[in-house]
Amino acid sequence: MASPSSPSPPDPESAGPDPVARGEGPSVPDPVDFQVRPYRPARWLPGPHAQTLGARMLRPSDGPASRRVRWDTPDGDFVDLDLGGPDTGAEDAPRVLLLHGLEGSSRRGYIRLLARELHARGLRTVALNFRSCSGEPNRKPRFYHSGDSDEIRWVVDRLRAQDPDAPLGAAGVSMGGNILLRYLSEPGAGVEGAVAISVPFDLSAGTAELEGRTTGRLYMRYFLGSLMEKVRQKEELLRGRVDMERLRRARNLREFDDALTAPLHGFGDAETYYREASSGPVLHRVGTPTLLLQARDDPFQPSGLLPEEAVARNHHLVAAFPGRGGHVGFVEGSSPLRPRFWAEAEAARFLAHVLGRDSA
């Protein structure tokens, strides 16, 4: 991990505190006594795409020590999880479930850095690989999708059964954040604190944003290529369940979701899937202390769709919406030789605070 540098002077564009919303409710006390530290974007990564791509290249490639376990699922499939924790004093430490983004895995730099930051604060981590994301195709035709809260519920319930006395938190990034927020909006969510970073709150609008811009289409082409490779690996399982010819003709994520994700997972079409799986419309139901970190210049989501009203009305939500940061970027520091990663650090600080492991 790169060594931290001394704080850089505030960028003129980001001087003063970040736009931070705290849901207070008209007469309900704020249950989360936490102040988000201001984000000061690295001057040498100007613009959302530089932040998005630069963060991916600059995050440390090596992760903390972990142990992989495989859990058989009730439907005859499996998921792989990476378990890790601090070197000492971890037996009764709180645990944090980590959820990666679209076509990511537990080996992504942002998941590994989250784990490292959490371990440094004395917390254990459980990094889930969504189905077919651990390096091995899953056994069933189904994949994963942006509204797959049932999978999260099953994992959380099993973690609870294994260690009922340990506090449990969760952190989701991008698609993983959307799934996490969907889960938190449902009755009986079993975590004490959560963080969601760079979330596509409106899946239809986010897909349209990618489709409508040249740079967005480049991101989309990357995701589509990765998804289609998995389709090829599972072609025999998929035959008879989806229209393979239509699927092969998919040229963007919306067409892919219309041909595979929606019909395979019980949605009528892509628009129905996007509507029913988006987290934005259900944020008012979240009853868990939750931190939202989202850049206004995120190229994966229109800035006008930030859930500021939902945050203002829900006293369980704390949010920071800085003007810059890109998608899962948020790089700070005076030099590319010594970058700092604001989102991962704030996520760990918040979770340690709400899970009783550290002071804010």
Cα 127 to Cα 79: distance, rounded to the nearest angstrom? 11
Q: In what order do the strands lie in the sheet with 124-129?
A: 20-22, 317-320, 290-293, 193-197, 168-173, 95-99, 124-129, 78-84, 67-72
Task: Return the active site residues.
Answer: 174, 298, 327
Residue 67, number of CB atoms within 10 A of its CB: 9
Cα distances from 151 to residues 37, 98, 146, 243, in angstroms, run 33, 13, 11, 25
Left if phi > 0, otherwise alpha if psi is -120 to 50, otherwise beta: which for 166?
A: beta
Phi, psi at residue 127, to the nearest 5°?
-95, 115
